[in-house]
Amino acid sequence: MSIKRYSYTDVKCPREVVLLQSTGCSWGHCTFCDYQNDKSMSAAAAAKLNRQILRLVTGKSGVLQIIDSASFSELPMETLLDVLAVCKEKNIHKVILEQHWSYRSGFWVLSDLFESRGVECLFLGGIESFNPQIRGGLFNKGMGRDGPEEIRRYFQWVNLLCGVKGQSLEGVLEDIHIGLELFERVILNIFITNSSSAQRDEELIAALYAHPEFPLLKANSKIEILEYGNPLSDGTLGGIGYGEEETIK
């Protein structure tokens, strides 16, 4: 499938976003995830593609978010060097790197590396929910039962997930409140049906959009609500990860 791998968004937090390719997610068991399938069997091929994508970065906002079919730590080493080079060439002063919880003990190495080059390094965690029963039982995130304060020690930004059958509106709102209280930024992803076994809960999603608190969330610059194709949401980070406006296969 051809997907869009570079975008720029100026919704709430202007930044460039790149969707790079890894050789695979070492966890790989999250029940809702099929984007881990976007991987390469060859580190050399992934690095070559990633270099093409990184060439599209302009430095327009000075902020670069990097996502991939796994964790940032699972990208080829060559790609890490290319990211450092593009930060220097394009005057990027802040990077946001998505990581699985299992890599947290090594975050300081990446922070030191980027910060030694004058680039602030933030980590984005796919937490999905702060409720260990939902996170572990429904989503199988492989994070154990650590609470939000412990998670905050490592991540500044969090991804939360809404719209999977088995979730409740109260639980989703509680997750959002915790996220807004403890983290710099919350990305609330509305689940879109994909090839995984997870089922989209239309009623739950409609209830979120109709909730009296929703306009406040939309107006809150700390939270981005992302749903592909729904004008009620804050968009989809410029459509990255979807098929249209393709620039690189």
Task: Tell me which residues touch ligand SF4 (CB under 6 A).
Answer: 25, 27-28, 30, 33, 36, 70, 100, 126
Task: Determine the Cα–Cα distance for residues 115 and 231; give it in Å rounded to an integer.
Answer: 37
Nearest distance in Å: CB 197, ligand SF4: 13
State which residue, 27 or 191, has the beta carbon closest to ligand SF4.
27
Nearest distance in Å: CB 190, ligand SF4: 15
Please answer whether residues 32 and 196 qualify as being in contact, where contact means their C-beta atoms are separated by less than 8 angstroms.
Answer: yes
Nearest distance in Å: CB 164, ligand SF4: 12
Nearest distance in Å: CB 227, ligand SF4: 17
State which residue, 125 or 171, has the beta carbon closest to ligand SF4.
125
Provide the 10 A C-beta neighbour count for residue 25.
Answer: 20
State which residue, 69 or 233, has the beta carbon closest to ligand SF4.
69
Please answer whether residues 95 and 121 qualify as being in contact, where contact means their C-beta atoms are separated by less than 8 angstroms.
Answer: yes
State which residue, 198 or 205, has the beta carbon closest to ligand SF4.
198
State which residue, 71 or 233, has the beta carbon closest to ligand SF4.
71
Task: Determine the Cα–Cα distance for residues 92 and 133; give it in Å rounded to an integer.
Answer: 39
Nearest distance in Å: CB 25, ligand SF4: 3
